[in-house]
Structure 1
Amino acid sequence: MEYNKEIKNRLKRIEGQIKGVLGMMELGKDCKSVVAQLSAARNAIDRAIALIVSSNLEHCLRESLGKGEKAVELLVKSR
């Protein structure tokens, strides 16, 4: 399966967010700011998962069914 440039760029931004959170922690930033940034990263990851699943849904479902997995399990894992 191929992943387009858009999803790879999203993941690179998420990587940057996580590195930013680590930097905030090293600088002793307050927990409210750290949690806000972690929450933003989590939301970005959720959106990336949704994009991957939606753009590759048919392929993912066929692959899962071929392995004997239930299609619903794939969708549940994605959430």
Structure 2
Amino acid sequence: MEYDYTDELKTRLRRIEGQVRGVLRLMEEGKSCKEVVSQLSAVRNASDKAIAQIVAENLHQCILEEKETGGDTGKMVQQAIELLVKSR
């Protein structure tokens, strides 16, 4: 199955990419551990939100498709939860 990722999601990932470049710049400038870790935490939080958005959008699409064929949507929800748990 091929997915159509939204421009909003791609923009979110580009922002994360910029944050990672910012962390590298802080490291190259010899900034404090506290500053680097704080920015890395922001990157992690942004990544977690992107993961959740991807899983939610995918789950929505999968449930719609599963309903059309009369399949088990509960299984889809369980797989989505497992994917989120694995991402942490």
> If the length of structure 2 is used for normalisation, what is the TM-score?
0.71
Contact 1:50 1:78 in 2 (8 A): no
RMSD between superposed Cα atoms in Å: 2.1
Structure 1 match to 2:35 = 33
Shift of 1:55: 1.2
**Aligned equivalents of 1:34, 1:75: Cα separation in 2:** 26
The higher radius of gyration belongs to 2
Aligned pair count?
72
SS in 2 for 1:56: helix
Structure 2 match to 1:65 = none
| Structure 2 counterpart of 1:47, from 46, 49, 61 | 49
User: 5+ residue gaps in structure 2?
Assistant: 67-77
Q: What are the Cα deviations for residues 3-38 of structure 1, in whole angstroms up to 9, with x where unaligned?
A: 000110000000000000000000000110000000
User: 5+ residue gaps in structure 1?
Assistant: 63-69
**Aligned equivalents of 1:17, 1:75: Cα separation in 2:** 22
**Aligned equivalents of 1:52, 1:41: Cα separation in 2:** 16
**Aligned equivalents of 1:43, 1:75: Cα separation in 2:** 14
> If the length of structure 1 is used for normalisation, what is the TM-score?
0.79
Question: Structure 1 counterpart of 2:4, which letter?
Answer: E
Sequence identity, in percent? 61
| Structure 1 counterpart of 2:85, from 72, 76, 79 | 76
